[in-house]
Structure 1
Amino acid sequence: MLVSDSLRDKVDKLSTFEEILSHGVNTIELQEHYLWERLRELKELCDTEEDYDLSLESLKTMLLFVGSIPTISKPTSLTVNENGLLHVEWQKDRQNSLTLRCKDNYFLDYVIFKPSLYIDKRTILKGSMYVLDFVDYIRSLEIKIHHNL
């Protein structure tokens, strides 16, 4: 069984925000605690609004993604939309960025901006994919989500 599959099996069993967050803190090595602190802040903001809830399934998808990328860096932005889905962005500059909308059932929507090898414009890749397939996809594109995309 792959490490990612094992992580998914563990994440599947979690049912509350605190369980999911604690599991992330205890199993994913991050250089900074920004991600966990920001998630708590977003959860508190959603709790104060009557019409907003942070999607636990979206959180699980994000956790599986982050846990599958060794030495992942702090995202440039982490927000939640009106449907409770998490949006995460890593951006080096206008030519180099990755934006994810984490959805239910371990799927995500993505937009990747990367420089073209042939013209003076950026290449835009976008779509929807199962999170572990997406991890393989960005590896095949040699995109590293470290301090330099």
Structure 2
Amino acid sequence: MTESVTRKRERKHRTSMDRMRPAGRFNIHASDHRAELAEHCAYQAVQTVFGWLSIEQMRKPLRKHKDAQLARQIAIRIMAEELAVDQRQVSRMQKRQRTNIHFALQTVNERLEDSVFRAAYERMAADARTAYARAMREAA
């Protein structure tokens, strides 16, 4: 099967970005680097509540693991809404279609009507924002 033009372009962009960034260096002006940092901070914050799940289990949950799916959806919402990562960029990082990202946001928005869930979400979002701001300050 042939690779689509968009996928080829994205792969080429990723490899060129990797060549430009020395190992271990973070560029606060590169949107890809900021998005990677936001993803890391979001998953770390969600893991404080879902401690029994590894980050890898949250990123690629099995169908039968509903708690891992919810954790991934919460992390997606934190990235998109709290840390201002573009939904297209979130879908690229998650290797999912944009509609899946939209449905994840919708699911979490519906759950936010529950006050207990909202309190837990706000705690995770605050942790993610704090970690992101700290990392950006250290990199500057």
TM over 0.5: no
- Structure 2-normalised TM-score? 0.29
- Structure 1-normalised TM-score? 0.28
Which structure has the highest strand share of the two? 1
Greater RCO between the two (CA within 8 Å, min separation 6)? 2
